[in-house]
């Protein structure tokens, strides 16, 4: 069974390709390598023993997208990761984000419709909830006006998909990720941010290894137990496994309606200091950090109610925060070749 993974050389994409291959799926990857490296294909091959078919082009190009699908009419499902994801950059360059994230989605949906490809899994985000009124936040919570153009592309994408489904025979599952961190246990694939990392865990590991001088902790005056902001960190392999389950659910015709939404989180909120403490515990390193002011656009706290995913998908995040930070640290060390 052939599955197309767009953005399959990226962070979550590459981990999902591994899980799909290990469950017997044939995987085709499209990636323009704008934020990932071709070496990831070899890394995937070395983990699974199977080289995924890879095509490098930009899904914003409608012609190339349509030509691709005309050559692969036997695709059973598409997992669409390919998108820009830097919140801050999206504020600076909104049109870059709207064009890339929305046009590529529309091109894919048009081709799926043209070539009768029935199933789409879409990478969404808990950012659609903004600062929820109730915690933990469930899928039933209202979406809030997006804080950034990036977040808005996720909201609009869910709407584009829903509208498209109304006039087609397609099915879609939107997976709303909380904060994916960590790396594959082999340390052959992991998160590879270009330049200065925006996200917490790559910044922690790069600081510990000496590439960054000091981690800035953005704010300790939030209304949380230790004053630092709270998120639901989830191991990227747990997240990847949920995609395989979602794909199977579609292929096995188990969906209850044509569009389903699932939260992917652990259900536990951790503060920035909790993550730092875990990192220090598993690595034995003392992290150089200092408390600075809040980061613009950050919400105070969010964590998932994952009951619906647990019950309906039969999926549950298994890995602990120490497994997450330990795997991120191992990956950083292996990648920098000092182990």
Q: How many residues bind ligand UFG (CB under 6 A)?
A: 20
Binding letters toward ligand UFG, positions 120-139, x by CB under 6 A? -----xxx------------
245 lies in the binding site for ligand UFG (CB under 6 A):
no
- 231 binding ligand UFG? (CB under 6 A): yes
Is residue 15 near ligand UFG by the rule CB under 6 A? no
Report the distance separating Cα 99 and Cα 161, nearest Å. Answer: 16
The residue sitting closest to ligand UFG, measured at its beta carbon, is 229
Enumerate the H helices of the chain as residue ranges: 11-22, 39-48, 62-71, 87-92, 94-98, 104-114, 149-166, 200-209, 236-251, 272-283, 307-308, 321-335
Residue 197 token pair: 């990392």
Contacting ligand UFG within 254-313 (CB under 6 A): 272, 295, 298
Between 249 and 319, whose beta carbon lies closer to ligand UFG? Answer: 319
Instruction: Retrieve residue 238's tokens.
Output: 């747990």
Comparing CA positions, the residue from 276, 271, 279 lying closest to residue 332 is 279
Q: Rule CB under 6 A: say whether 85 interacts with ligand UFG.
A: yes
Cα–Cα distance for residue pair 173/247, rounded to 1 Å: 9
Question: Interacting stretch for ligand UFG, rule CB under 6 A, among 19-27, 71-79, 192-200, 244-252?
Answer: 192-200
Asked if 198 is part of the footprint of ligand UFG (rule: CB under 6 A), the reply reads yes
Using rule CB under 6 A, residue 170 touches ligand UFG: no
Q: From CA 199, how far away is CA 206, in angstroms rounded?
A: 11
Indicate whether 57 belongs to the interface with ligand UFG (CB under 6 A).
Answer: no
> Binding residue for ligand UFG (CB under 6 A) from 12, 30, 59, 87?
87
Residue 37 CA to residue 28 CA, distance in Å, equals 16
Using the structure block, give the residue that is written with the tokens 């259900």. Answer: 267
Compute how many other C-beta atoms are within 10 angstroms of the C-beta atom of residue 185: 15
Q: Which pair of structure tokens corresponds to residue 71?
A: 């050559």
The three-point CA angle 12-13-15 to 5° equals 65
| Nearest distance in Å: CB 221, ligand UFG | 12
**Cβ 147 to ligand UFG shortest distance, Å:** 9
Question: Applying CB under 6 A, which of residues 20, 200, 237, 324 lies at the interface with ligand UFG?
Answer: 200
Q: Which of 173, 229, 234, 313 binds ligand UFG (CB under 6 A)?
A: 229
Query: Could you list the residues that contact ligand UFG (CB under 6 A)?
Result: 85, 87, 125-127, 151, 179, 198-200, 203, 215-218, 229, 231, 272, 295, 298
């Amino acid at each position: 069974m052939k599955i197309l993974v767009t953005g399959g050389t990226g962070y979550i994409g590459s981990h999902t390709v591994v899980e799909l291959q290990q469950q017997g799926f044939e995987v085709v990857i499209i990636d323009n390598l704008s934020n990932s490296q071709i070496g990831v294909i070899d890394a995937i091959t070395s983990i699974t023993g199977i080289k995924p078919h890879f095509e490098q082009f930009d899904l914003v190009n409608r012609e190339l997208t349509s030509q691709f699908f005309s050559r692969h009419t036997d695709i059973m499902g598409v997992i669409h990761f390919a998108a820009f994801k830097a919140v801050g950059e999206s504020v600076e360059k909104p049109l870059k984000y709207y064009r890339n994230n929305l046009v590529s989605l529309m091109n894919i949906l048009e081709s799926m419709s043209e070539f009768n490809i029935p199933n789409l899994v879409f990478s969404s985000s808990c950012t659609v909830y903004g600062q929820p009124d109730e915690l933990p936040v469930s899928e039933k919570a209202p979406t809030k006006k997006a804080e950034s153009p990036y977040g808005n592309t996720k909201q609009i994408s869910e709407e584009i998909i829903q509208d498209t489904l109304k006039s087609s025979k397609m099915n879609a599952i939107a997976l709303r990720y909380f904060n994916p961190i960590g790396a594959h246990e082999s340390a052959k694939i992991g998160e590879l941010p270009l330049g200065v990392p925006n996200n917490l865990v790559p910044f922690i590991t790069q600081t510990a290894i000496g590439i960054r001088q000091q981690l800035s902790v953005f704010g300790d005056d939030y209304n949380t137990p230790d004053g630092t902001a709270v998120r639901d960190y989830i191991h990227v392999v747990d997240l990847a496994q949920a995609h395989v389950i979602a794909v199977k659910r579609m292929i096995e015709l188990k969906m209850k309606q044509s569009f389903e939404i699932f939260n992917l989180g652990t259900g536990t909120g951790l503060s920035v200091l909790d993550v730092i403490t875990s990192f220090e515990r598993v690595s034995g390193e003392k992290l150089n950090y200092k408390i600075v002011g809040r980061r613009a656009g950050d919400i105070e706290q969010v964590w998932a109610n994952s009951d619906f995913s647990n019950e309906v998908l039969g999926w549950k995040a298994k890995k602990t925060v120490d497994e997450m930070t330990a795997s991120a640290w191992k990956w950083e060390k292996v990648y920098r070749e000092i182990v």
